[in-house]
Amino acid sequence: MREAYRINKHLLSNSSKQLFIGLLYVSSETMDFATLEGKTKKVLERINSEIIRQLNE
């Protein structure tokens, strides 16, 4: 999960705000990296769109 974030952290906008993000993996089954990376991207894109929305208010 750490690697998926490291590779895709560029998806967050470069705002002047400092972000503290915690990602938790809670499952009894192991997930392959491609699936985990896709889900991580989706979360980061959603966070980014919320940041942009708040900056435009």
Per-residue confidence (pLDDT) for residue 5, from 0 to 100 = 92
Specify if 22 maps to a domain.
Answer: no
Is 37 among the domain residues?
Answer: yes
Structure confidence at residue 44 (pLDDT): 94
Whether 45 and 12 have beta carbons less than 8 Å apart is answered as no
Establish if 26 belongs to a structural domain.
no
Number of domains in the chain: 1
Q: Is residue 17 over pLDDT 80?
A: no
CA angle 42, 28, 41 (to 5 degrees): 10
Say if 57 falls within a structural domain: yes
Q: Is residue 43 a part of any domain in this protein?
A: yes
Confidence check: pLDDT of 16 > 90: no
Distance (Å, whole) CA 5 – CA 24: 12
Mean pLDDT of 37-53: 93
Parent domain of 41: 1-14+33-57
**Is residue 56 in a domain?**
yes
Q: Which helix (H) or strand (E) holds 51?
A: helix 33-55
24 domain-assigned: no
Find the mean pLDDT for residues 40-47: 95
Q: Quick one: pLDDT at residue 15?
A: 64
Pairwise CA distance, residues 29 & 46, whole Å: 25
pLDDT at residue 22 greater than cutoff 70: yes
